[in-house]
Amino acid sequence: MEGLTDMAPLIEVKDLAFQYSAHRGNVFQNVSFTVEKGEMLTLLGPNGAGKSTLLNCIAGLASPTEGSVKLNGEPVESYSTRRLAKHIGYVRQHIAVTYGYTVREYLVMGAAPRIGMFSTPKEEDYERVEEAIVDLELQKLADRTVSHLSGGERQRVAVARSIVQNPEVILFDEPTSALDFGNQIRVMRTCKQLVERGYAVVMTTHNPDQPILLGGRVAMLNADGTLAVGDAETTLTSERLSELYGTELHLVYVDEVDRVACVSSKL
């Protein structure tokens, strides 16, 4: 058993297809890719391409119409919700909290998969929370109410909760789409740090610049519902991006920052 889990990729998505209802057709189909331990994968695609649905399929929150998702060689359906949560963390785009939990109270909820149904967090769980607070420099926010935080602060708090949860892979659903430019960069930096610490990160975005910045692998979800996977440098080409977004885009090398950037032509 141990050998098997060592051999199998962390996440293996095979021939995945999804449709909401029969007459509306597939959102995506023939989607196959793998995510290895400690790897960064960016899911790139225009709005409505089904990126979030794909993440939900991986997280076991949505059932694919066809195909399979395997986690450590076992189908995700065979995992209980609790066991799945020990392996997969999920950071959502909008974090709406109905009650006025403080950041500390919110963070300790990350420990839920390891806490019994009739139990409450122990001392060591709170210690993990303090570590995560230091990790993500949340000291100033720690006693504030989550629902009073700004979008960027909330995003960081959600990441910290995932660290408390300590899964193998953290899924990010459009973490940057609601943030201003500075916060977008900060979130991506956090993602990169997570990968450096050994977490696998799967992040969705509709901004083609981000996979280039992040490095790692990119999976491009095309408008026709198919997927192209590979390294950012080889997979992303001006032609493919232009076709994907239906507008003229160019990949240009920018001297000052020593990297390739995606820019549009004049309007």
Partner 1 sequence: MADDKPKKKKLFAEDVTIEGKKQVPLGIVLIGCGIVVIALAIASLCIGRYSVDLQTTVAILTSPFTGAETTWTPNDYNVIMNIRLPRVVGAFLVGAALALSGASYQGVFQNPLVSPDILGVSYGACVGAALSILLYMNTWQTQIFAFVGGLVTVFITVSIPKFMHRHSNVMMVLSGVIVGGFMSSILGLMKYVADPDTQLASIVYWQLGSIAKIDSDVLCYTAPVMIVAAVVLVAMRWRLNLISLGEEEARSLGVDLKRERNIIIIASTLLTASAVSIAGTIGWVGLIIPHVTRRIVGSDNKRLIPTVILVAAAFMILVDLFARNISGFEIPLGILTGLVGAPIFGYILVKQRDVD
Q: CB under 8 A: which stretch of 17-25, 32-40, 66-74, 83-91 binds partner 1? A: 83-91
Q: CB under 8 A: which stretch of 88-96, 206-214, 242-250, 257-265 binds partner 1? A: 88-96
Residue 21 binds to partner 1 (criterion: CB under 8 A): no
How far is the C-alpha of 158 from the C-alpha of 127, rounded, in Å? 17
Non-local CB neighbours of 145 within 8 Å, separated by 6+ positions:
100, 101, 102, 103
Sign of the CA dihedral running 68, 73, 76, 77: positive
Residue 48 binds to partner 1 (criterion: CB under 8 A): no
How far is the C-alpha of 182 from the C-alpha of 108, rounded, in Å? 27
CB closer to partner 1 out of 65 and 101: 101
Residue 98 binds to partner 1 (criterion: CB under 8 A): yes
Residue 95 binds to partner 1 (criterion: CB under 8 A): yes
Q: Could you give the C-alpha distances from 26 to 30, 90, 190, in angstroms and in order?
A: 10, 24, 34
Structure tokens at 61: 């929150």
Residue 97 binds to partner 1 (criterion: CB under 8 A): yes
Among 8, 112, 228, 261, the residue binding partner 1 under the rule CB under 8 A is 112
CB closer to partner 1 out of 39 and 173: 173
How far is the C-alpha of 227 from the C-alpha of 238, rounded, in Å? 17
Q: CB under 8 A: which stretch of 22-30, 102-110, 201-209, 253-261 binds partner 1? A: 102-110
- Burial of residue 198 (number of CB atoms within 10 Å: 0-12, 13-18, 19+): exposed
Q: How far is the CB of 116 from partner 1 (least distance, A)?
A: 9
Residue 90 binds to partner 1 (criterion: CB under 8 A): yes
CA 92 remoteness from chain centre: 8
Binding mask 189-218 for partner 1 (x = CB under 8 A): ------------------------------
Angle, helices 123-135 vs 151-165, to 10°: value is 130
Residue 85 binds to partner 1 (criterion: CB under 8 A): yes
Q: How far is the CB of 171 from partner 1 (least distance, A)?
A: 8
Residue 185 binds to partner 1 (criterion: CB under 8 A): no
For 36-65, the DSSP string reads -TT-EEEEE--TTSSHHHHHHHHTTSS--S
Among 14, 144, 186, 192, the residue binding partner 1 under the rule CB under 8 A is 144
Using the 8-state DSSP alphabet, how is residue 145 labeled?
B
Among 64, 110, 211, 225, the residue binding partner 1 under the rule CB under 8 A is 110
Residue 181 binds to partner 1 (criterion: CB under 8 A): no
Q: Could you give the C-alpha distances from 130 to 88, 109, 221, in angstroms and in order?
A: 21, 13, 38
As a whole number of Å, the end-to-end CA separation of the chain is 57
Residue 166 binds to partner 1 (criterion: CB under 8 A): no
How far is the C-alpha of 134 from the C-alpha of 140, rounded, in Å? 10
Site residues for partner 1 per CB under 8 A: 59, 61, 80-86, 88-90, 92, 94-102, 105, 109-110, 112-113, 115, 117-121, 143-145, 147-148, 150-151, 154, 165, 178-180
